[in-house]
Structure 1
């Protein structure tokens, strides 16, 4: 984690900081488990962003006590996530998964969504992104 990214995490409210750190760790875990190569960590719109060579960026942030995973709004990602996991996850429009930072992370559907985002350019032509 670069100093700039670390500073962003250190400035998050405590109630959301631990959830956002867990989301970051989940992104790296999925990339490693799927052998996706290096994860590029950068700052976009003042928030941490993560991408792989064949993936679509995932940005993490918060509003109030909600944590967000943001995805490219013109991709098929959130539309597909909604179809697959609407019973487990909450969405905002066509660009975000919304999580309550006061509740445990729904790890299984999140890992599946992260995998689809980090492999998006390889699976975007498949029905339901190959899920």
Structure 2
């Protein structure tokens, strides 16, 4: 079969089905008062507004939000002397820089590994991928 004959057959097939290929369908108009939308996980619900505690005495004496039950109350805070000493030594600020860490600690070597992995991942992104 030569190329001219093949291309002429394609043209005739294209002309026959051109009406089918160019037809478009549109979405149905939304009816007023229609049922609420249902997603994959069920009907879409409204977000629940959580109240914020503003009572200063309660904020100072209780762990607000610690009660997960319907009945009961939040955990009452104890005096500082009843908590272990290591609790007050925990670093809560921004992460320390690598230069500030002790090279003999696990934290130091975890950070070195993390930095190395990030650097390798960035280098992999810049390399051109070859298709095999």
TM-score computed with the length of structure 2 as normaliser: 0.21
- The structure, 1 or 2, with the larger RCO (C-alpha pairs under 8 Å, 6+ apart) is 1
Indicate the structure (1 or 2) with the bigger Cα radius of gyration: 2
Q: Which has the higher strand share?
A: 1
TM-score for both structures, normalised by structure 1: 0.21
